[in-house]
Chains A and B, each alone.
Chain A
């Protein structure tokens, strides 16, 4: 290389690095991403306790369903997503979607197949062996995001995440897009919990990694483009091999608590806090609530208490209970047993709060149905009073 070429290449290098640097510089003046803290309406003093249970999907007969999620559209309709097939990990597993009109409080639409391995393979233009976990959530307007798992080889540790966007509340969907989130063949990334909205218009979506290490992460999604395209990056909540499937509850622009499924011998719900909007998280600790290596979900109530849905056992998923904490997750009071049947499984709770203040909980019921339980805060308070007696 002669001197002239070296100078030309140095200039080329500087220009090529100036490109990403300029976009970074343009973000310097902006406020860092913060959680859009939930501002729930104060429940009416005289509202009566209310609780309704129903199934979202019809009985699949010999098949199975799992990993339900739910969200509310701008017009108040509810949309739920889950996967189902002959068995977990089977090639015929597909992701289904159903909606519920607020005018028909007990009627869910017939499940519609949104993604299966054939359509995912076509859209992602690659071999897909099977599809798995999915979650659905709303963006601005009637935009719906479906984040789902595909596997090209191996088991769950071979999972990759994909995103599919609908701009008309789930009637039509854009082609799936692969999210590259790991340097190791882009595998072992999974999703199962609801996102936390950000003040920037984006989302902090709790995800997790399971391969050699098992740990919780946050997928930062920035949406806003007309075509529904997203920008994304990922950060770590904790390392190691003990905690996965984070459920994040934000109670301030920079404050949040993450609750974890515990894989270790401690067999207790894991917990960590952030005081800088998810930039860093405290070392995970365990609560005095048992966890049989199963998913939990938490949600913030109008008075900033936290409601947790969990399997109250160190051995199995034979029950599903609700507990409330009024000190941001340190101490808990069990308030209700939603399910308890020996030999059965109740798993993967997923909660949202709709605009009318109702709390919607969906979970896998006997691996056959996705159950939807709706209740208000008056019901929670009534349960608490009953427990106190």
Chain B
């Protein structure tokens, strides 16, 4: 199952890039342009280059694009295609803060800072599952839409949609942390310039 799913992120990325590129020519909303761009993206994703589909070249260097990043990209593609805004500002802010917090907890220690490795908690039920489950319930009570991403992540984990069998990889990845850093920094700078 993970093999088929490995094409999803590259497909969405190609689609988003095509939307970004062709969007300069005019509006691309609606079923017809979306279908055409979708077919072109799928074709590019499976086109073999040097014996490997382009999507698998991407997977060669990062096989586990998180469900959070995939969901953000999916929502962005959907927004450009149909004008449907699934993630409001509050949801995105929650996503950036959650991802950055997870990244700050995970990466320094997983890369050797100290003797404790939080990544270990992602294999099989542990405190990580309790914390993420608790955050999910809390966000549900607060009616924050980011909860859908967290539910998708645990569903994907149970179905082993990624190559990884570790829950952390379904929640965050280095690109997600980078995107979160950029989004939060630009938000901070915007606020700062408004005050000035």
B158 A6 Cβ-Cβ under 8 A: no
Set of chain A residues within 8 Å of B184, measured between Cβ atoms: none
Alpha-carbon distance A214/B172, docked complex (angstroms)? 23
Set of chain B residues within 8 Å of A231, measured between Cβ atoms: 165
Given contacts A13-B151, A234-B120, contact A186 B113 (CB under 8 A): no
CB B66 to nearest CB in A, in angstroms, measures 10
Task: Give B117's nearest chain A residue, CB to CB.
Answer: A236
Set of chain B residues within 8 Å of A29, measured between Cβ atoms: none
Alpha-carbon distance A215/B113, docked complex (angstroms)? 10
Alpha-carbon distance A126/B57, docked complex (angstroms)? 6
A153 B61 Cβ-Cβ under 8 A: yes
A236 B143 Cβ-Cβ under 8 A: no
The reply to whether the CB of B112 lies closer than 8 angstroms to some CB of chain A is: yes
B112 A1 Cβ-Cβ under 8 A: no
Q: Work out how many contacts link A and B, with CB atoms closer than 8 A.
A: 131
B124 A16 Cβ-Cβ under 8 A: no
Within the complex, which residue of B51, B158, B163 is in contact with A20, where a contact is CB–CB below 8 Å? B158
Question: Which chain B residues in 140-196 approach chain A with CB under 8 Å?
Answer: 140-141, 143, 145, 147-148, 151, 154-155, 157-158, 163-166, 168-169, 172-174
Set of chain A residues within 8 Å of B126, measured between Cβ atoms: 24
A183 B166 Cβ-Cβ under 8 A: yes
Set of chain B residues within 8 Å of A127, measured between Cβ atoms: 50, 52, 56-57, 60-61
The reply to whether the CB of B119 lies closer than 8 angstroms to some CB of chain A is: yes
CB A235 to nearest CB in B, in angstroms, measures 5
Number of A residues near B (Cβ < 8 Å) is 45
Task: Give A180's nearest chain B residue, CB to CB.
Answer: B164
Q: Interface-forming stretch among B25-33, B36-44, B72-80, B129-137?
A: B129-137
Within the complex, which residue of B124, B151, B166 is in contact with A180, where a contact is CB–CB below 8 Å? B166
Question: Which chain B residues in 91-117 approach chain A with CB under 8 Å?
Answer: 106-107, 109-117
Within the complex, which residue of A9, A180, A209, A211 is in contact with B63, where a contact is CB–CB below 8 Å? A180
Alpha-carbon distance A13/B157, docked complex (angstroms)? 13
Alpha-carbon distance A367/B14, docked complex (angstroms)? 46
Alpha-carbon distance A187/B143, docked complex (angstroms)? 38
A13 B107 Cβ-Cβ under 8 A: no
The reply to whether the CB of B13 lies closer than 8 angstroms to some CB of chain A is: no
Set of chain A residues within 8 Å of B119, measured between Cβ atoms: 182-183, 234
B158 A19 Cβ-Cβ under 8 A: yes
Those 7 A-B pairs whose CB atoms lie nearest each other, nearest first: A213-B112, A24-B125, A233-B123, A180-B164, A126-B60, A127-B60, A236-B117
Chain A interface (Cβ < 8 Å from any Cβ of B): 1, 6, 9-10, 12-13, 16-17, 19-21, 23-24, 121, 125-128, 152-153, 178, 180, 182-186, 209, 211-215, 217, 231-236, 238-241, 283
Chain B interface (Cβ < 8 Å from any Cβ of A): 3, 50-52, 56-57, 59-64, 106-107, 109-117, 119-120, 123-126, 129, 133, 136-137, 140-141, 143, 145, 147-148, 151, 154-155, 157-158, 163-166, 168-169, 172-174
